Each structure stands twice: as C-alpha cells, then as structure tokens.
Amino acid sequence: MSGLGELLRWPAEPLHGSLCLAALALLAAALRWRRSAWALLLIAPLWSLWWSLPAAADGLAALLARGYPSASETLARRADAIVVLGGDIGRADQYAQGDAGASDLAGNRLALGARLWRRGLAPQLLLSGGPTAHTPGGSEAQRMADSIRGFGVPASALVLESHSRNTADNARLSRAIGEGRGWNSIILVTSPEHMPRAALAFERAGWRVQGVATAATPLGDALPPWQPSPRALRRSGRFLKEAAGLCIARLDTLH
C-alpha cells in the first residue's frame, strides 16, 4: 500500500474514525460553527455503532468482493503455479484432520490451495507471506508450509516467498520467483474481499492472473445481523482498510 494508503489505515478503523469526527466537532465548536459541531458530535458514536452491526460488515464485504469476478473453484483452469497469500489461515489444529474439503474450512485459503493443487491445476504452490507479529522468528509462508502439509501436499510441491510485508510485496517478490522458474500464469488464492486489490497488484507486476477466492463467511450466519458485536466491529475495520487500499491502488493505476 502506498504512503497515502498507510496514512488512511488509522482513521479507517471505526473507533478511530469516531475519534476523528469528535475532534472535528471540537474544532467546529471552537470556530463557532455550532450546527456543524453538534452534527459531527452526533455522527461520531453512530459511525462506530453502525460498523459494529454484522449486517453492515457483511454488506461492505459483499461490496468489496464484487470488485473482482473470481473464477469458480470447479471451473478453474490450469496455470503455471498456484499462489496462496498469507492471512486468515486459521488455527493450527484445523489442519490436523487432513481434510481440505471439510465444511468448516470453506473460507480457508490453504485448504482451497490444496484442493486446487490436488486437481492437478498447477505443479507447484507458491506460499507468499513474510514476518508478522503472529510469526515470531519466522514467516507466514513457513507457517503456511507447515500447515498445508497436513492436507497431504508434499514439501517438493511448495515454493516459499518469506519476505513480503504487504500485497504489493506479495506481487513483486512472487513475480521475481516466477520469472526465475519460467512462470507467467497463476491461480491467485485469497479472500473475496482482498481479491480485487490483490489481483490488481499481481497483474501490474506482470502476471496473468486467474483469481479463485475462498468462500465468503458472513457474520450474519452466526450472529444476529442487527445486534452490535465487537467481532463485527473488528471485521468492519479490516474491510474499511481494504476499501481504502483498493481506492489508492486504483488511483495509482491512473498515473
């Protein structure tokens, strides 16, 4: 994400956005813009309240997913490699059962990558993800490699990209690996909300991209859609950051 995109990450969090609105209300009051001040003061808590609703989080997720027409898993075509991006890979115990087709793994990126590989759609899986706070002393790619072997994918089928810290890095560093191996076409695996920005980044890096997103996992299936939830608030924050990043990425393509 560009510098402007990183700058937008903080206010994209609903609670941070409410704080920004409250600060603007204080500024408006200092300037004696009383009506504006009261309006901003009213909107500030409502902003976070709205994004704490599962229905709001699910609506934003669906809107983001419509930004890229992902191919159906069953209609995916052969490619030089399958690229699975880090993030949202779940708990380690999910892989112990060895069943990539389990219903509770419908939204799991590694399970989807393993299923595509088992169908023979590409000879190798490239796992892309660098160091994070959740992988002390290692990388997301290494954690993914350790996990996906639980689905029967051998180490010989895996290629690791362990240095990326964002989506642009995923695309650039994966492309460098692919060029060295003669790869040009990929099946890109990530979440439906992330797919529009990820596909754009990989296409700009020079890949021929066929995006196959994981299944959507609406919160409304597990929570009352109009009841505020901390889980929905966290998910909304993630999706608002994604929306900001996508806007910046599309603006970058105009330069």
pLDDT digits (tens, 9 = 90+) for 17-49: 999 999 999 999 999 999 999 999 999 999 999
What average pLDDT does the segment 201-213 reach?
A: 96
pLDDT of residue 3: 55
What average pLDDT does the segment 213-217 reach?
A: 93
Half-sphere exposure of 130 (CA within 13 A, CB side): 12
Work out the angle at residue 142's Cα, subtended by the Cα atoms of residues 218 and 184, and round it to the nearest 5 degrees.
80
Instruction: Decide: 226 and 220 in contact? Cβ < 8 Å.
Output: no
- pLDDT band of residue 198 (cuts 50, 70, 90) is very high
Phi/psi class of residue 88: alpha, beta or left (left: φ > 0; alpha: ψ in -120 to 50)? left
pLDDT of residue 166: 92
Q: d(Cα 26, Cα 32) in Å, to the nearest integer?
A: 10
Q: d(Cα 105, Cα 145) in Å, to the nearest integer?
A: 17
The verdict on pTM exceeding 0.75 is yes
- Among 126, 88, 99, smallest CA distance to 214 is for 88
